[in-house]
Structure 1
């Protein structure tokens, strides 16, 4: 994590890179809040300087080439959020009110379709995932250790290419993960 003195962000905030959009966003590790716009209390001059140096298009070289890069894997997921998710909204619903149990039931039905071969994770993710990666059939691209939430990362790295996880719970909601590469 970069010191707030150099980023211009208030205490507790850091800059992360979105895996679905490959763009910088702001994350508060204490409150688990994430947002695209700078948090209140940011030093805009320091932040502009930091962003232009470290997060301009010239500074972002995250590989999404077919071969990936050393130590990285590629995975897709199907996310079902619930009212306890850190951001209970998505491109599909502005306010998600379902309980965690209801989200689990939905995901279990999707898991059954995948296991039976009736549908693929990508087929379902396109219309049912609460992640913006839905438009890419759930594909999150390549990521390495430390790029994802701990539970998600551990489950992803434990899979073999082509394998689909059971239901994984993170602060974002409930996931089915399929390792691609």
Structure 2
């Protein structure tokens, strides 16, 4: 294992300029990937990524929304029936959809009670790579997201958060930013 990242030897975290996201790179084999290597120490990696690769709450601004576009953040919990049941946090996700919903309900209660925010939870709890940006998906228009996600996100007013939304990716809480 290398230093405080939790990554195996020869692996490092690099930053993609085109996607503005961190990714994993093997210096020896030149393999690059969005998901961490199988033998990474996920607990160490989670802490490292939250400390070094998540933007601050308003650390970046995309300016005014483009024509017909909105900006939203989300918290994704995947389950074994998700389209791709693995994430940066967990190589093989085995929880049931019901368990994923229960986890998300707990997060929803914490957010609604004012204990925390979606942006504060996303870096350690979301199964989406957007966790590194506090769940921020940036600007998107109609037809860019899965239909259930899009319908829920576009129905929100800026600042509002959805209830639990199910898609092929898993279960989400969505917060409209702008």
TM-score under structure 2 length normalisation: 0.66
Question: Aligned residues, how many?
Answer: 124
Does the residue aligned with 2:76 lie in a helix, a strand or coil? strand
Q: Tell me what 1:105 maps to.
A: 102
Q: Tell me what 1:154 maps to.
A: 151
Q: Tell me what 1:89 maps to.
A: 86
Of 21, 37, 42 in structure 1, the residue corresponding to residue 19 of structure 2 is 21
Does the residue aligned with 1:107 lie in a helix, a strand or coil? helix
User: Which stretches in structure 1 are left out of the alignment for 5+ residues?
Assistant: 1-19, 24-34, 37-63
CA distance in 1, matches of 2:20, 2:119: 20
1:129 equivalenced with 2:126 (yes/no): yes
Of 76, 79, 91 in structure 1, the residue corresponding to residue 76 of structure 2 is 79
CA distance in 2, matches of 1:129, 1:101: 17
User: Which stretches in structure 2 are left out of the alignment for 5+ residues?
Assistant: 1-17, 22-32, 35-60
Residue 133 of structure 1 deviates from its aligned partner by 0.3
Deviations 1:9-37 (A, max 9, x none): xxxxxxxxxxx9379xxxxxxxxxxx99x
Q: Tell me what 1:65 maps to.
A: 62
User: Which range moves more in the overlay, 162-171 or 64-73?
Assistant: 64-73
Deviations 1:89-124 (A, max 9, x none): 000000000000000000000000000000000111
Residue 68 of structure 1 deviates from its aligned partner by 2.4
Does the residue aligned with 1:69 lie in a helix, a strand or coil? coil
Larger-Rg structure: 1
Q: Tell me what 1:16 maps to.
A: none
